[in-house]
Each structure stands twice: as structure tokens, then as C-alpha cells.
Amino acid sequence: MCRRLRFGVAGAMRIDVLLVAAWLARAATPQRQNHSEGGLAIVGKGNNARKIWAAALALIVILAVGSSVRAQNSAGEWPIYGGSYANDHYSPLDQINTGNVSRLHVAYTVSLGVLKDYQTTPVMAGNTLYVTTSQGPQYVYAIDAKTGKIKWRYDSNVPKDVLAYNCCGGDNRGAAFANGRVFVGRLDGYLVALDAYTGRELWKTQVADYKAGMEITAPPLPIHDKVITGINGGEFGARGMLQAYDQATGKLVWRIYTIPGPGERGNDTWKGDSWKRGGAVIWDIGAYDPELNLTYWGTGNPAPWAVAPRAPDSSDFGRYTNLYSSSVIAVDPDTGKMAWYFQEVPNDAWDYDATAPTLANLRVDGKTVPALLDAGKCGFLFVADRRNGKLMSAEPYVFVNWARRWDISLKRPVENPDKRPTFTHDAKYVCPHIYGGKSWEPMAFSPQTGLLYINSNNMCQDIKEQKIEYHRGNFYLGTENSTLAGPGGYLGKLIAIDPTTHREVWSVKEPWPANGGVLATGGGLVFNGDWEGYFNARDARTGKLLWQFYTGNGIAAAPMTYLVDGKQYVAVVAGKLSAIPSYFGELGQRMIAAGTPEGGTLFVFSLD
């Protein structure tokens, strides 16, 4: 099918002719039927080819000359993790809105057969939801988006020992759909392509060696005829990399490393040969601007967490900034060439990764600017011009004390030296915590309200550095971190921020951290789940709670929404995080005690 991916770019959108051709070929195919485990029927359109060509050409004209390409495709699909290339977790669907959301009810549920640590967001194309489980993912499901009937199930059969080399609980954040294929990254370091109609494995390519701690938990990003993915492994001393594979064959097209090697610009920002195992992995999803033909990614912390093996052990670190760790990078998706970068935390000593960027058009000084937004784990919200990476602003969105400010003119933070741990100095009450002001939980931007919605954390830490040596497949950290509550008597907060002014428009304090990601809709709503298992709908302009449903299981994942046969649905996966609280010490034990039993269930809601 020809899909118009929603994206906030002024002017006309470039049309991918290959997608149109693929849709035409499928649409013109005579009716046929195949069967798989779930009894899925593949049915061609069987329409007159001449009519199909006419309709397709008309659609191309509409798309090519449209002044806005923000609108989600006419089918109301959600084909990739963030809903669109903007990674903004926004849908213009408005059938469910502030006036009727109180009537929302469960349409169906699907038990996913695997317990705990769910971070997955379903993707949807045609009339099918594609949902991954945790622990591998052990399973990928194709589910009838209207009825909840399982069409097929893919069993990954990942090795039993993958969790021994995993950082944070065996999570998987979801799949991606493009050109009749479902793409999934796995904990065993493989990227696979499945036939979207049968679940058959089309190809399987090894991206990295999981026994070195390099795994894939983020959804891939399909662009043109390629599918792009990063890797995990920053806590194991991996060298970060980003790679593109041919969608049809799984063959490697290009690969770039996020840490420069000898002779490359930036290699001298690393001490000795520390670049070989310096982290800076890309463990989260990217975004893409079709007009600029640039894709954007956040990189992780340098490895190890202890600074001495890779840089001078002080705030006076000179050239040892450890490029391109804790940065946002812009890359040409066709060649892998880096176009620009900005580094959020030079010589990071706190595990302050850059996270998944969001793209939006913002009105700044009376002009529309194509912007990139990143709420880094460091606690600052960065707003940059995505054409060139020039930072327009960087202000805290949570309580921050590791830096006094982020200086745009200096292009770096002004550190508070007392909050930087060294071998001779223990840093006390450093904010934010290693889990970040925001971690992987996606934020949402609504072009309707102009607001950015962030489910933030309010935790701090004490940090003590330790000597560390690298051993392949083992944690490579070098610090001892304790978890403390942040100021104010709460641990989480849902925030609505105007990114042009950094003004907090409204907020809701939450008793626990690690709450679910956010969905914003054209119905004037914001949806999110929380640690205790409540799924909430709020007025996007005021934060007023309009509807709530208790799922019986903690929600960490981000919701999504879609349209089938003219009816809007909202979906979220419930399944509490079990591994992450174990890193939080006594506070984490209180979280576990206050939480729900383990589970893993897809909840889908609709109106009467």
C-alpha cells in the first residue's frame, strides 16, 4: 500500500516511487490465499489495473503538492515505532476526543505469553497489529486489529543465555513495517525480516555478537530500500555503530562507528586505545526528515562509566570529550556519512545518554524552523535546527545540579565540579540519576497544542568511582551508584512543555518513576500508563484527567492509536518492568512492593 508518513516539514514531501510501485504490484495481483499458523488469508485487491493506476497517480499528485505532510496516512496506520518518521508519537485521529473519551472501553485483550519487562509499542499496517514480546523478543504476533484474533506467531528461538549478556531486563521496544515486511531486532544480535502476511522468516542477518554484550532492543527504522539499526552494549564496552541493510536481502549496505578510529577526526578525544571499547552505542530509535534526507540518532554514554580509562579524571579534561558519545548525530541514510552532531555531555561521568530525537516545526522569532528536540538523560531539553545541528536552546526540564547551565555559546555545559565523581572524590546527591530525567520512554509532540509531553523521573544519586578492567562479555562500569529521591517528595512527573520557551504549561506529579511513554492525538488527548498499572487519558491543553482504566499490571510502554473500518482504537501493552528497579536499591524494593504482579497483555480500547 502507498503510505503517506506523517511528518512536520513545510512544503512538499519527496515521494518514494518504489513504495508506490510495490503497492501497485500487490493491488493488481489476482486474489489468492495462503495459510500459516494463524490461518492468515492473503487477499489481493483484484481491482481493475487502469483504475488503480489512476487512483495512485492522483494520490501522488496530492502528496507531492500538499503544503503539509504532517497528517497521518489516510488509512490511520502506525507503521513504525513513533507513528511517523518524526518520531513524535502523535496521531491526528480525533474520533476519540475530550468530549467522549469517558466512554472508552476495552475492545479486546491479547495475552502475549511472556511475563515482565514490556517496553514494546505495537505497529499497525492494513488491518493488522504487529506486537513483539520481551525476552528476545520470544514472540512476534500478527493480530487482527479489529477483533484481536491472532493471525500468526513467530518464535525467535533466541539462545537461552542471552539474558546473561543483557543490561536491563530482556526488553524489546517493537517492530517496524515496510514493503510487506516486518523488521525486528533481537537480543542475540540478529536483525530479521518476516513476511508480514505469513510470519515466515525471509532473512536473518547477524549485526553483532551478543556474547560481547552487543544486542538489539530498539525497533529498526526503514528508509527507502534500507532498514537501519543500532546496537546495545554501552555497559559492556561495545564500540557503538549504526548500520543499514537492504530490506529485500538483508545484506549490509553501510556501517559507521560512533567512536572515531585512528586517523579519523575525533579519535584524539579518547585516551590511548580506549576508543576500541568506548560505548557511545545507539540503543534507541531514530527519526528521519525526507526533505533533508537526514536521519537522526542519539548516542549513549562513553564506557566505562568511570572516567580515568578514557580521559583525565576531572572537570578539566581538555580535548578528551569522548566523541561522539552522549550526542545527537545526523546521518545520510543512503551513504552513512555523518552530516553534523552536537554533544550533550562531553566526557560524560554520569551515564547521561542522548535519547531518541523528536522532529517538529516550531515558530521561532516569527519564522518556522525545522527543529529537533531531545530530552537527554542529563536533564536538559535540547532544541536544535535539524538542518545543521545548530543549538537554539538547552534548558532543564527536571531538577539538575550536575551542571550550573548549558552554555549555547560555548557549546557545552558549565559543570558543577563537586558533582563529578573521581577516584579521589565521591559525588553526593547528583541529579538526575543514571536512569535519567527521561530514559527510553518516548515523549510526544502535538502540533495541535505546540506542546511537548514528557514522562520524567525525579531521582538523584551518590556516585563512587572504582578501578575497572575490561573483560569481554562482562559489565564494564567502574562506579558504585546509590539511588535517592529527588526534591519535592515525588519520583515521577508528566510534564507539558512549550519547547519554544521551555515553559512548563502543566504537570502531574507521580509517586513512582519509570512510568510509560506518551501518546498525543488530534482529539486533544494525551495518553500514558504508569507504574501501578493505570492507563490514563488527559486533556492535552490542561492535564485534566478525563478517563482512567486499571490494567492490573504496570505500564512502561508507550501507547499508539489507529483506524480500522472507520473506527479509532487505542492500544497499549501492560507488563511491568522487573529488572530496572533492581538497580535502584532500597527505593527499587519499595517500587517492587508497591507494584503489580508480572504480566504481559495487549489492551485495545474503543468507543461504543
- Does residue 583 register a pLDDT over 60? yes
DSSP state letters, 442-507: PPEEETTTTEEEEEEE-EEEEEEE------TTS----EEEEEEE-TTS-SEEEEEEETTTTEEEEE
Interior angle at CA 429, CA 428 and CA 435, nearest 5: 115
| pLDDT for the residue numbered 56 | 41
| Residue 423, number of CB atoms within 10 A of its CB | 14
Q: What is the pLDDT of residues 361-416, one digit of tens each?
A: 999 989 999 999 999 999 999 999 999 999 999 999 999 999 999 999 999 999 99
Q: Tell me the per-residue pLDDT of 163-187, one tens digit each, with 9 for 90 and over.
A: 999 888 899 999 999 999 999 999 9
- 543 or 594: which carries more pLDDT confidence? 543
> What's the rounded Cα separation, in Å, for the pair 375 and 389?
15
Q: What is the DSSP letter of 376?
A: -
- Which of 295-304, 369-378, 575-584 is predicted least confidently? 575-584
Least confident range from 43-52, 260-269, 270-279, 474-483: namely 43-52
CB neighbour class for 490 (10 Å; exposed up to 12, middle 13-18, buried from 19)? middle
| The pLDDT value given to residue 579 | 87
What pairs with residue 457 in β-bridges? 492
Q: What share of the chain in percent tops pLDDT 90?
A: 83
Rounded CA separation 396/401 (Å): 10
Going by C-alpha positions, the residue among 249, 176, 265, 270 that lies closest to residue 216 is 176
Query: Residue 415 is placed in which grid cell?
Result: 559543570
Residue 23 has pLDDT above 70, yes or no: no
Order the strands of the 123-125 sheet from edge to edge: 123-125, 128-132, 139-144, 150-155
Residue 244's closest CA among 276, 220, 279?
220
For 527-542, the pLDDT digits (tens) are: 999 999 999 999 999 9
Positions of E strands within 386-423: 391-396, 403-407, 412-415
Pairwise CA distance, residues 379 & 345, whole Å: 11
Q: Specify the CATH number of the domain 79-606.
A: 2.140.10.10
pLDDT at 59 over 80: no
Rounded Cα distance between 485 and 491, Å, is: 6
Q: What is the pLDDT of residue 487?
A: 97
49-65 and 17-27 helices cross at what angle (nearest 10)? Answer: 150
Q: Give me the amino acid identity at 533.
A: G
Kindly indicate the confidence band of residue 45, based on its pLDDT and cuts at 50, 70 and 90.
Answer: very low
Tell me 210's DSSP state. G
Instruction: Report the chain's mean pLDDT, rounded to a whole number.
Output: 89
Is 29 a residue whose pLDDT tops 70? no
Give 473-532 pLDDT, tens digit per residue: 999 999 999 999 999 989 999 999 999 999 999 999 999 999 999 999 999 999 999 999
Q: Tell me which of 16-30, 161-175, 210-224, 417-431 is least confident.
A: 16-30
Rounded to whole angstroms, how far apart are CA atoms 585 and 90?
35
Cα 571 from Cα 560, distance rounded (Å) = 5
Domain boundaries defined on the chain: 79-606
Q: Which H/E stretch holds residue 18?
A: helix 17-27
| Interstrand relation of 90-91 and 518-521 (parallel, antiparallel or unpaired) | parallel
pLDDT of residue 594: 84
Which pLDDT value is given to residue 75? 64
Does position 605 have pLDDT exceeding 80, yes or no? yes
- pLDDT for the residue 39: 29
Cα–Cα nearest to 586, from 484, 491, 501? 484
* DSSP assignment string, 104-141: -EEEEEEE-S--S------EEETTEEEEE-STTTSEEE
Rg (CA), the chain: 23
Predicted structure pTM score: 0.89
- The residue-averaged pLDDT of 208-225 equals 97
Residues 6+ apart with CB under 8 A from 60: 2, 15, 20
pLDDT in tens, 87-104: 999 999 999 999 999 999
**Torsions phi, psi for 37 (to 5 deg):** -55, -40
Let me know the angle formed at the C-alpha of 336 by 291 and 69, rounded to the nearest 5 degrees: 20
The conformation of residue 10, written as its DSSP 8-state character, comes to B
Chain centroid, CA 112 distance in Å: 21
Alpha carbon 13 to its chain's center:
23
